[in-house]
Amino acid sequence: MTRRYLITGGTSGIGRAVAAYLSERGHRVLITGTSAATVGDALEAGVSELGAVADVTDPRSVATAFDTAAAIFGGLDGVFANAGIDGEGKAAQDLDPERYRQVMEVNAVGPLVVAQAAYRHLTRPGTLVINASVNAIRPEAGFADYNASKAAALALAKTLALEWSADGISVTSVCPGYFPSRMTSDWLSDPITSRVLLQHIPAGRFGQLDEIGALLEFLLGPQAPFLTGAAITIDGGRNI
């Protein structure tokens, strides 16, 4: 059954992979990105049917993207609040407070802005999935800013599930480990760093993008409403 989705941060990494996976399976998808160039590149590559330039911290641009998707698709069945940025990769005592605020703004405030737009536009029953990261559950040293922002995203998803589930909106969070993306390329491409990371992953490997695409198709689909409130890890066991 064809469904209608909006994915933020859909021009690279996990968002792009999920959008492409869903599009290949016949679903209608609008992706957002922060620049016309990246959105245009993704559309040219066939990642999704539609695209919109939107900053997830800006309610106006997010509202415009949702209005476009709902008008052209005739409604929305699911939303993947995925857009996010990495932290500085420094010890906590060396973090720049202004950069910390920026990470929190995109990774914690952004999902709220997207969720509020989703609440206004989603059909009932509808689904919202927030990308929270396994770092929300098991923090990594050197990533205090990123860890804190993703823990906030996870708490937001659980709170929305408490408030919205009875209104017909299923809210879950997905907590990925290491997958190939622009954000992780520096870590995964370095032989020493990747070897250290793999020591903490029981499966002994990094994730494959099709795996998270398949998971999101299920979580966004009509079979998973009773999972509302769940935090789904997909990390090869790193959360243990």
Pairing of strands 50-53, 4-7: unpaired
CATH code (residue 65): 3.40.50.720
How does residue 194 score in pLDDT terms, banded at 50, 70 and 90? confident
Evaluate whether residue 239 is within a structural domain: no
φ, ψ of residue 132 to 5 degrees: the values are -105, -25
Domain count, the chain: 1
Evaluate whether residue 238 is within a structural domain: no
Residue 181: predicted pLDDT: 75
In the sheet where 231-234 sits, what is the strand order? 50-53, 28-33, 4-7, 76-81, 122-131, 169-176, 231-234
Evaluate whether residue 240 is within a structural domain: no
Options 5, 21, 100, 146, the catalytic residue? 146
Evaluate whether residue 103 is within a structural domain: yes
Q: What is the mean pLDDT of the chain?
A: 95
pLDDT digits (tens, 9 = 90+) for 105-138: 999 999 999 999 999 999 999 999 999 999 999 9
Evaluate whether residue 102 is within a structural domain: yes
Pair 76, 55: CB distance under 8 Å: no
pLDDT digits (tens, 9 = 90+) for 138-159: 999 999 999 999 999 999 999 9
Domain that holds residue 143: 4-233
pLDDT digits (tens, 9 = 90+) for 11-37: 999 999 999 999 999 999 999 999 999
Evaluate whether residue 182 is within a structural domain: yes
pLDDT digits (tens, 9 = 90+) for 41-73: 999 999 999 999 999 999 999 999 999 999 999
146 is catalytic: yes
Evaluate whether residue 211 is within a structural domain: yes
Evaluate whether residue 11 is within a structural domain: yes
